[in-house]
Structures are given as C-alpha cells and as structure tokens.
Amino acid sequence: MNENELLKTIDADNLIFNGYTVVDGEFLPDHPIKMLRDGNHKKDFSLLLSTDKDEGSAFMQMFLTLLNRVDDGRKFSFVNPEPLDSLDEAKDLLATTIEPFLSKKYPVPTEQLAKIYFNGLNPKTDQPDLLRQTVGIAFGDMWLACPTINFGHHISHNDGHANVYQLYHSYYPIKTSEWCPKWSGACHGDDEFPLFGDPIRHPSKYNQRVRDISMELISFVHSFTRNGQPNQIEQPEWQSYFHVDDGESLQKVVVEPYYELSNEYRTHQSYGLNFKQIECKFWQQYYEYHRQ
C-alpha cells in the first residue's frame, strides 16, 4: 500500500483533529511538550515569535463542516456568509469548534470563554461580522496564537540567556486573499505577503503604509538572522523577554515585551508587555498534556 492509498483509508476527522508525536528515543528522546516543560532543549539562542490578530477565522468553515455542521459553517464563508444573528449562537459555535481540541476529561468552559472573549458585546448585537471575528480570534488563540506565545514563555523561563522577541500583526488585511475571509481582521497568513516583499515587487496593489510594513518586516528579519535581534538603528529598543523577581515567592517571573505592527506608524504605543497573558493562561489549562 502506497502513501496515497493509506491516506484514503483514514477518516478525515482523524487527519484533522488527531496528531501523534513519535518518540523514537533518538531524534525525540521524549515527548516534545515534556521536554519543553522540563527544560530539556537547546539553550542560549534567539527566537522571533510572530502571530496575527485573527488566527482562526480562515479555518472556521472548514472545521464546522468536518463536524457535520455544514449550515453553521456557511456563517463563516469567506464571501457573503449566512447570517450570524446572536451572541448566544456565536458562543455555541465557538464551543462546538474548540471541543475536539481540548482535553476530553473536562467540559468546554463555555461561560468562562464568554467572559473572556465576548465581554462588552450586546446580546442582540447587529454586528454579525464582529461576532464572526470574535469567534475566529478565540479559536485562533486556542489553536495557534497561544501555543506560540506559551512556547516562547517556556523557552525564556527555562533559559535566562535565550533572547525571545515577539511580534504582533494587527494591521487590516493588505489585499484580498484566497485564504482569508473578507470580513476578518489581520488574518492567518496576512503577514507573509509583506515578509516576502510582495508590496515592494507590486507597489500598485498596496498603499504606502503596507509598503512600509514590508520594508520594516524585511529589515527585522535581516537584522535578526545576522545579529540575533531585530532592532533597527535610531528606533526605540524592542526588548526581548526578561525576568523579574516575584517578591512573595522569590521565583523569577517572565516579562514578555512585544512590538505591534498596525495600520498606524510606530509610536510608543506600538510597544507593550505580556500580550494575551490572560487568554493564554486560560487556554493552557485545558490542553491535554497539562492533565497527564
């Protein structure tokens, strides 16, 4: 049986929702999560993390369809989605989508999710795109953004000499994308166009801000690959993660600076600390490996 024949024998849900790590004792001496948690990894290196504002909206229709919720999936169609009419409906769709990814030992924390992500939204809101974006952002935090941020946190916590830099993309979609809905914000993959210089090669397709973002990203990566840090000359320092003492427990606390690329040009407000700390701490407790 060749690879194609083997794939055809596997249920689509198992391909999407189940991933198994093979611990062979050589390339992977232990489960990667345990190795990361125990500090069993390379030390003293530089790491550049990057996440988009909305990492999840592009996948909502696909996952709901795989969960046999085809009609609900159409509410997240890239173009002309079906109506999403209420806050309660948005909460239900979020809970349905994340359930296969969380520990089976505990129920989906629907009420806690609502308090974290839907705070301030009117139950009878007439902004369906805002509801879609909120669901997509919450799903993306669980699936992509928070695992990325938590990875950087563990690396810095285990190794005070590691230089961890964090970048956050929040600028509005730079052009119509085949893999991002028109109604979403900065979507999964939107950072790739400027990173690889598409606005510079095709300037007529982009505005000046996006062309500048492209130049800035390329400069960051160039500096990082050459020097291990993304800072630019004559710009405020973009700090790496650092440690402070917890006065009560006498343990080190990781402080996580980040730099935001938005539609606005760089100001002091482009720099922040501990991005999505509450959200990522919340999601971390429901990952399976924390319950073993």
Tokens, residue 225: 């690959």
Going from the N-terminus, what domains does the chain have, and what CATH number goes with each?
A: 3-290 (3.40.50.1820)
Q: What is the pLDDT of residues 119-159, one digit of tens each?
A: 888 777 778 889 999 999 999 999 999 999 999 999 999 98
pLDDT at 292: 42
Q: What is the pLDDT of residues 4-58, one digit of tens each?
A: 787 778 776 666 656 667 788 888 888 888 888 888 888 889 999 999 999 999 9
Q: What is the pLDDT of residues 185-226, one digit of tens each?
A: 888 888 888 899 999 999 988 889 989 999 999 999 999 999
Give buried/exposed letters for 53-62 (b at 16+ CB in 10 A, else e).
Answer: bbbbbbbbbe
DSSP annotation string for 176-213? --TTS-TT-SSBTTTTHHHHTTHHHHSGGGS-HHHHHH
Whats the size of the chain, residue-wise?
A: 292
DSSP state of 256: -
pLDDT at 291: 41
pTM: 0.86
End-to-end CA distance of the chain: 35
Cβ-in-10-Å burial (0-12, 13-18, 19+) of 237 comes to exposed
